[in-house]
Structure 1
Amino acid sequence: MSGHDARLIHDLARAILTEPQPIRVWPLLMERLTADLPGDLAVLIDLDWQAGTGHALTGKPDWLHQAPLDALINTHMRAHPLLRHYARTVDRAPLTLDQLADDGWWKSEAYHVGKAAIGIDRQLALPLSSRLGQVRGVILSRSGQGYTDRDLEYAGLACSLLDTVSAHERVMSNIARLADPAEFGITPREMTVLALLNEGLTAHAVGSRLRITERTVVKHKENLYRKLRVHDRVTALNKARALGLLSSEPPCH
């Protein structure tokens, strides 16, 4: 990969990590992908092939939010070569429409309706990890010139970032239901220690995991006990669960 493309991937990763509002990450990705590859539009889709249903979760440019994307997906998804391929295989490598489409596709109603509605022409799919029969990923489109080997190489690296974002999103959606530690004066570092204690780790093991001294872990524990108004580990964990700081059930091992 060229130095320029490597910088693009680096900048994209940094933008993801530093975005202060997680809800902004996917629109940010759509915007960056259309600029970096480049393309006319990018859409994040989620399909259930067996049920024959799907949704466009977000996209760029903004006018796509007024386009009949869900109707297009639900009516024509089974005819689309890229969607059909990912639904029927475990392949999760980026592919272009040109690699899979035959003459029947370019003459089909699905192609012409899509082209008239949102300009479907040349397309590149960046699939995310998903179970067989589910299709989740980003579809990029542009008119005229097809996607190149360089675009596919970039897309392969970008897919790793997209999968990481997707996994982070699932974790954050769970964390979002928990109480805010700041309401109890608990710092992020103390919360990390509390979560590791909840996993059953000793103070020594917590220190090794976080690369801090056991003495520092003990100090964090003392601060937690004081802030939670308890005097021992078991009571601290039980109270943290009752307050919504930890999941109501201890982690399974």
Structure 2
Amino acid sequence: MSGHDAKRLHDLAMAILTEREPVRVWPLLMERLIADLPVDLAVLIDLDWRAGTGHAQTGSPDWLYEAPLDALIHAHMRAHPLLRHYAHTRDRTPHSLDEVADDRWWKSEGYRAGKAAIGIDRQLALPLNSRPGQIRGVIMSRSGHGFTDRDLEFADLARSLLDTVSAYEKVVLDMPKLGDPAEYGITLREMAVLALLDEGLTAHAIGSRLQITEKTVVKHKENLYRKLGVHDRVTALKKGRSLGLLPIEPPAG
């Protein structure tokens, strides 16, 4: 990987780690992917393949919010070559549309509808970890020319970062609605660690749950303690409850 590509990945990782508002993480990532690859648009999708339903969670640029993305998904998801590929395989490697589509796709109603609505032409998918029967990932599009091996290599490395964000997000979203951690400068990653500390998990177990190293967990704990003004786990959990960041009663078990 070139020095330029390595810097793009470094900057992407830093953007994830330093974002103070969890709600901003995914929109930020869509913006960065557009600039870094570059592409014309990027959309985070969440599909239930078995039910034939799904939604576009967020995307960039901003005009996508007025595009009929959900209608496109509902009407054509089962015919889309990339989505079909990921639905019927265990593959989680980023692929371009050119790699999996045959001539029928380029002549299909689904292709024409996407082209007319949002100008899609060449596409690249970053599939994220998801439950069986579900497809979660980022679909990116560009017009004019396809994706190179270098683009695919960058996408594969970026995918691992996005999978980590998903792991953090799942922990935080499973928590009851409490105080806003951003008010105290606590990031999405740190909040996930705090929630798992409240479950009694060790640093090693937290690392396994969040798909990060034990060393990274320790660093997040240090940042948490500093921001909460404490020096140990017990006091951190007590302070988290007093600030409304954790439920009054610890998790059962």
State the TM bucket, normalised to the shorter chain. Answer: 0.7 to 0.9
* Residues 73-126 of structure 1: CA deviation (Å, up to 9, x unaligned): 000001000001111111110000000000000010110111011111100000
Q: CA deviation at 1:198?
A: 6.3
Aligned to 1:245: 246
Report the Cα distance in structure 1 between the residues aligned to 2:22 and 2:119, rounded to whole angstroms.
30
User: Is the aligned partner of 1:141 residue 2:141?
Assistant: yes
Question: In structure 2, what is the Cα distance between the partners aligned to 1:16 and 1:74?
Answer: 31
Question: Which residue is 2:127 aligned to?
Answer: 127
User: Is 2:36 aligned against 1:71?
Assistant: no
CA distance in 1, matches of 2:46, 2:87: 11
**Does the 8 A contact of 1:199 with 1:251 survive in 2?**
no
How many equivalent residue pairs?
Answer: 226
* TM-score between the two structures when normalised by the length of structure 1: 0.76
1:110 aligned onto 2:110 = yes
| Preserved CA contact (<8 Å) 1:90 1:132 | no
Quick one: structure 1 residues 23 and 210, their matched pair in 2 at CA, closer, same or farther if it must change by over 3 Å? closer
Change (3 A) 1:150 1:85: same
Is the CA contact (8 Å cut-off) linking 2:94 and 2:156 kept in structure 1? yes
CA distance, structure 2, for counterparts of residue 135 and residue 37 of structure 1 = 22
Aligned ranges 1:142-181 → 2 under 5 Å: 142-175=142-175, 177-178=177-178
Indicate conservation of the 8 Å contact 1:180/1:245, yes or no: no
Cα 1:107–1:167 shift into 2, 3 Å:
same
**What corresponds to 2:18 in structure 1?**
18
Residue 246 and residue 100 in structure 1: after superposition, are their counterparts in 2 closer, same or farther (change >3 A)?
Answer: same
Paired with 1:75 and 1:110, the residues of 2 have a C-alpha distance of: 8
- 8 A contact 2:53–2:74 mirrored in 1: yes
Rg larger in structure: 1
1-side partners of 2:75 and 2:194: how far apart?
50
TM-score by length of 2: 0.76
- Unaligned stretches of 5+ residues in structure 1: 202-208, 213-218, 229-235
How far apart, CA to CA, are the structure 2 residues paired with 1:63 and 1:247? 42
Instruction: Tell me: CA distance 1:200–1:92, structure 2 relative to 1, closer, same or farther (3 Å).
Output: closer
Q: Report deviation, 1:248.
A: 4.0
- Any stretches of 5+ residues in structure 2 without a counterpart? 203-216, 222-229
User: Identity of aligned pairs, percent?
Assistant: 64
Distance change in 2, residues 1:193/1:68 (3 Å): closer
Deviation of 1:168 (Å) = 1.2
Query: Does the 8 Å CA contact 1:178/1:247 hold for their aligned counterparts?
Result: no
* Contact preservation (8 Å) 2:123, 2:142: yes
1-structure distance, mates of 2:97, 2:250: 46
Relative to structure 1, is the Cα distance of residues 50 and 20 closer, same or farther in structure 2, using a 3 angstrom cutoff? same
Match of 1:216? none
SS in 1 for 2:120: coil
